[in-house]
Amino acid sequence: MILAITDVNVVKEAWWLYAIGAFVTLFIISGSLFFAYKAYQRSKELGMPKEHVRKAVVSSVSFSILPSIGIFIGVITMSGLLGIPLPWIRLSVLGALHYELLAVNNAAEGIMASSMTIQDFVTIAFTMTIAIIWGALFTLFMFKKYQKSVVDKATEKKGRTFGPLLFQSVFIGLVAAYFGDAFSRIFGYNVREIVDGAYTGNSTTQYSFVPLIVFVVSFMAMMGFDWLVKEKKVKWLENFQLTFSMILGMTVAVLLGLGGIY
Q: Residue 180's CB: how many other CB atoms inside 10 A?
A: 10
Whole-angstrom CA distances from 4 to 7, 41, 50, 118, 159 are 9, 51, 56, 12, 70
Which one of residues 85, 196, 197, 198 is an interface residue with other proteins (CB under 8 A)?
85
* Total site size for other proteins, rule CB under 8 A: 159
Establish if 16 lies at the interface with other proteins (CB under 8 A).
yes
Distance between CA 184 and CA 190 in Å, rounded? 11
Near other proteins in 168-187, by CB under 8 A: 168-187
CB of 83 closer than 8 Å to CB of 116? no
Query: Nearer to other proteins by C-beta: 174 or 234?
Result: 174
Establish if 101 lies at the interface with other proteins (CB under 8 A).
no
Query: Nearer to other proteins by C-beta: 122 or 195?
Result: 122
Establish if 200 lies at the interface with other proteins (CB under 8 A).
no
x/- site string to other proteins, residues 125 to 144, per CB under 8 A?
xxx-xxxxxxxxxxxx-xxx
Establish if 2 lies at the interface with other proteins (CB under 8 A).
yes
Establish if 66 lies at the interface with other proteins (CB under 8 A).
yes
Within 8 A by CB and 6+ apart from 99, the residues are 132
Residue type, 262: Y
Q: Residue 83's CB: how many other CB atoms inside 10 A?
A: 22
Helices 50-82 and 97-107, packing angle to 10 deg: 30
Establish if 234 lies at the interface with other proteins (CB under 8 A).
no
Give me the phi and psi of 67, to 5 degrees please. -60, -30
Minimal distance, residue 251 CB to other proteins, in Å: 7
Establish if 201 lies at the interface with other proteins (CB under 8 A).
no
In degrees, rounded to 5, the angle at the alpha carbon of residue 250 between the alpha carbons of residues 170 and 200 is 80
Near other proteins in 28-47, by CB under 8 A: 28-29, 31-36, 38-40, 42-43, 45-46
Minimal distance, residue 194 CB to other proteins, in Å: 12
Q: Residue 42's CB: how many other CB atoms inside 10 A?
A: 11
132 sits in which H/E element: none
Give me the phi and psi of 158, to 5 degrees please. -100, 165
Minimal distance, residue 216 CB to other proteins, in Å: 6
Minimal distance, residue 223 CB to other proteins, in Å: 5
Residue type, 167: F
Establish if 71 lies at the interface with other proteins (CB under 8 A).
yes
Minimal distance, residue 121 CB to other proteins, in Å: 7
Establish if 196 lies at the interface with other proteins (CB under 8 A).
no
Which one of residues 123, 194, 200, 228 is an interface residue with other proteins (CB under 8 A)?
123
